[in-house]
A and B are shown apart, each in its own frame.
Chain A
Amino acid sequence: SQKIEQNSEALNIQEGKTATLTCNYTNYSPAYLQWYRQDPGRGPVFLLLIRENEKEKRKERLKVTFDTTLKQSLFHITASQPADSATYLCALGGTASKLTFGTGTRLQVTL
């Protein structure tokens, strides 16, 4: 069955460092992969989309890589700030705009 796993339940890093979050999937061949941010008690907010034929995508302090051979995506936040503290979800795109979400990684950036 299809499975999407994100690394460690929580990731704690110091302000200014780069946070790296991992998304691994099995039994899936997505046309694209997306990353969302979710704050407690709120709906997810779209951050980045990367297609199967793209290796890397950047947006300001965010960078996403996509390795379809390894079936893995890495999500990086450089120069992290306390305001970046949230849960980050990866999502795989399927048919009819449906998304399948990973379990999420909670990021805590401390001063």
Chain B
Amino acid sequence: GAVVSQHPSWVICKSGTSVKIECRSLDFQATTMFWYRQFPKQSLMLMATSNEGSKATYEQGVEKDKFLINHASLTLSTLTVTSAHPEDSSFYICSAPTSGQETQYFGPGTRLLVL
């Protein structure tokens, strides 16, 4: 089946620094990718839709200047958490829709800890 990878799988950074997370579709092209955030014992919350060749679409309440998304190619989307703070510590997961656009393949997630 289709595979979505993420890198890094975990990252620890100091408050105020920026962190980039990569999401790749390994054996298929994805014009759209989704970025989610999941806090402990909570469900996945959609942050934004990453669109290849155009600007990302952010969900209500998500700061687009803090969470920069770049979808540079049909197989790569990046999420940059700028000026990270401890409250940004979370599990970030990306996904890409299947060819039928209804189900999604999820990446393994990136755990971010901001000290």
- Chain A residues in contact with chain B, CB under 8 A? 32, 34, 36, 41-46, 49, 89, 93, 96-104
Contact = CB atoms under 8 A, between A and B. Distances in A.
B32 A89 contact: no
Nearest to A47: B103
A43 B109 contact: yes
Contact of A46 (B34, B43, B44, B104): B104
Given A43-B106, A43-B107, A43-B109, A98 B42 contact: no
Q: 5 closest pairs, A vs B, by CB?
A: A43-B106, A97-B97, A101-B43, A101-B44, A97-B101
Interface of B: 4, 6, 32, 34, 42-46, 49, 91, 93, 95, 97, 101-109, 111
Contacts of A42: 108-109
Contacts of B49: 96, 98
A99 B43 contact: no
Contact of B46 (A44, A45, A46, A100): A100
A103 B43 CA distance: 5
B58 to A, nearest CB: 12
